């Protein structure tokens, strides 16, 4: 198949899923064309069957805002025509599904199929804004195939947007041969003295991630357990988080590492991963941590309970319940035998989401869509 993938190239789960999917499909012999405004973060180095097409953005004094949706659409038309694409696969519906719909109209090519994968805030937050809602609903309805990364997200889409359409749940995935626990003594030595514990959080530091809760939970843990917190990533809440760290007097035990591309070594040094999010349709970064044998303490929102099993792979608590999350963390960190069991369960659970299995689901889904199987009804 010839697949055009469009995603955000920035630091975020939807771009990671899109890129890892494209790389895996290319290894299976499909031709994959990435179409975006910058090269996706995880698309480094040469790989056979992968091509990258940059959306050119010109500025004109009349326009206060860049017209990316249109420029992307034109690039999709060009790539589809010259590369003979079978499918546009859009990750994160806004505005990618709309651009693909437009491109398909311009091409007068009903056989090219548009698949939209819903990831999270495109449905739960941004898409609900009145300035996006009608066009988002329309673009989802017009897609030939729609997938969601969790059952939670599928239900939200159907109820919040009143859409009558089959939405296939294809969960996120992880390459468990790459994401696995490695020797990481050098990281442990660097960040934590003998016997100390390492807690990790990684995100794009948006308010929805509640990174300040991460710091407060750690503050409680740190009172009882000799420990260090590694914060990976960057985003709008970072400065406030640095401030809070200093206010709580934790600056010697909390390390802001910024954006990191390859975090397997860091995860391999971790004893616990914290994800107290306000909203989380799946929680890809938790899955990556689980593959590295790191138990998770998370909130109970969205798709997180579909991923992690309370009392086996970690613990789940209500949003904002810092005390409970801290108690769970202290319990696991103070009980080595229990921690070992949770770590092994986390790995076993992650293997159920291995890329080999899930990428096959995407391949089969494409085949169904290409054979014009009816996907209109719920």
Residues that bind ligand GMT (CB under 6 A): 8, 12-15, 17, 92, 119-122, 149, 172, 208, 279-284
Alpha-carbon distance of 278 to 239, in angstroms, equals: 19
DSSP-H helix ranges across 183-237: 185-191, 211-224
Nearer to ligand GMT, 15 or 219 (CB): 15
| Number of Cβ atoms within 10 Å of the Cβ of 185 | 9
Three-state secondary structure string covering 15-82: HHHHHHHHHHHHHCCCEEEEEECCCCCCCCCCCCCEEEEECCCCCCCCCCCCCHHHHHHHHHHHHHHH
| Cβ at position 114, least distance to ligand GMT in Å | 19
Residue 99 CB, nearest distance to ligand GMT (Å)? 17
How far is it between the farthest Cα atoms of the chain? 66
- Using DSSP, state whether 175 is helix, strand or coil: coil
- Angstrom distance (rounded) from CA 296 to CA 272: 6
Q: State whether the Cα torsion 200-277-167-33 is positive or negative.
A: negative
Residue whose CB is less far from ligand GMT, 12 or 295:
12
CA–CA dist 341, 131 (Å, integer): 48
Cβ at position 287, least distance to ligand GMT in Å: 8
| Total Cβ atoms within 10 A of residue 165 | 17
The bridge status of strand 87-91 relative to strand 2-6 is parallel
Query: CA separation (Å) from 173 to 169, 195, 294?
Result: 12, 33, 16
CB of 8 vs ligand GMT, minimal distance in Å: 6
Which residue of the chain is nearest ligand GMT when measured via CB? 120
CB of 17 to ligand GMT, least distance (A): 5
Q: Which is nearer to ligand GMT, 168 or 280 (CB)?
A: 280
Q: Which is nearer to ligand GMT, 244 or 301 (CB)?
A: 301
Provide the minimum distance between the beta carbon of 76 and ligand GMT in the complex, in angstroms, as a whole number.
20
If the CB atoms of residues 119 and 327 are measured against ligand GMT, the closer one turns out to be 119
Q: Determine the Cα angle at 14 with ends 107 and 29, to 5°.
A: 60
Residue 195: CB minimum distance to ligand GMT, A? 33
CB of 138 to ligand GMT, least distance (A): 20
User: Is 76 or 94 the residue whose CB approaches ligand GMT more closely?
Assistant: 94
CA separation for the pair 238, 215 (Å, rounded):
11
| 150 versus 228: smaller Cβ distance to ligand GMT | 150
| d(C-alpha 354, C-alpha 377), whole Å | 30
User: Measured from the CB atom, is 2 or 137 closer to ligand GMT?
Assistant: 137
């Amino acid at each position: 198949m010839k697949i055009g993938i469009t995603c955000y190239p920035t630091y975020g789960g939807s771009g990671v899923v899109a890129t890892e999917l494209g790389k895996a499909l290319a290894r299976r012999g499909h031709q994959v064309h990435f179409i975006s405004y910058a090269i996706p973060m995880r698309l480094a180095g040469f790989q056979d069957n992968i091509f990258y097409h940059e959306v050119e953005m010109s500025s004109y004094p009349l326009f206060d805002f860049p017209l990316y949706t249109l420029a992307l659409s034109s690039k999709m038309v060009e790539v589809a025509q010259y590369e003979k694409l079978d499918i546009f696969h859009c990750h994160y519906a806004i505005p990618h599904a709309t651009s693909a719909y437009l491109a398909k109209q311009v091409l007068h090519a009903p056989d090219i199929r548009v698949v939209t994968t819903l990831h999270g805030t495109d449905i739960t937050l941004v898409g609900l804004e009145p300035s996006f809602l009608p066009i988002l609903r329309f673009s989802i309805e017009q897609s030939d195939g729609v997938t969601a990364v969790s059952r939670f997200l599928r239900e939200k889409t159907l109820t919040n947007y009143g859409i009558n359409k089959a939405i296939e749940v294809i969960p996120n995935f992880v390459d468990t041969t790459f994401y696995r626990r490695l020797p990481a003594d050098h990281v442990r030595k660097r960040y934590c003295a003998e016997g100390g514990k390492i807690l990790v959080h990684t995100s794009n530091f948006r308010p929805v991630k509640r990174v300040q809760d991460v710091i407060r939970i750690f503050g409680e843990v740190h009172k009882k357990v000799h420990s260090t917190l590694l914060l990976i990533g960057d985003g709008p809440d970072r400065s406030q988080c640095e401030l809070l760290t200093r206010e709580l007097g934790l600056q010697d035990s909390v390390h802001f590492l910024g954006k990191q591309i390859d975090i397997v070594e860091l995860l391999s040094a971790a004893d616990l991963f914290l994800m107290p999010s306000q909203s989380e349709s799946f929680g890809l970064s938790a899955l990556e941590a689980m593959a590295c044998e790191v138990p998770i303490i998370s909130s109970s929102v969205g798709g997180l309970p579909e991923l992690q099993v309370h009392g086996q792979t970690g613990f789940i608590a209500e949003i904002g319940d810092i005390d409970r999350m801290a108690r769970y963390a202290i319990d696991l960190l103070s009980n080595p035998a229990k921690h070992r069991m949770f770590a092994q369960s986390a790995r076993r659970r992650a293997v159920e989401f291995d890329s080999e299995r899930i990428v096959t689901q995407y391949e089969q889904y494409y085949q169904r869509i290409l054979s014009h199987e009816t996907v209109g009804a719920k």
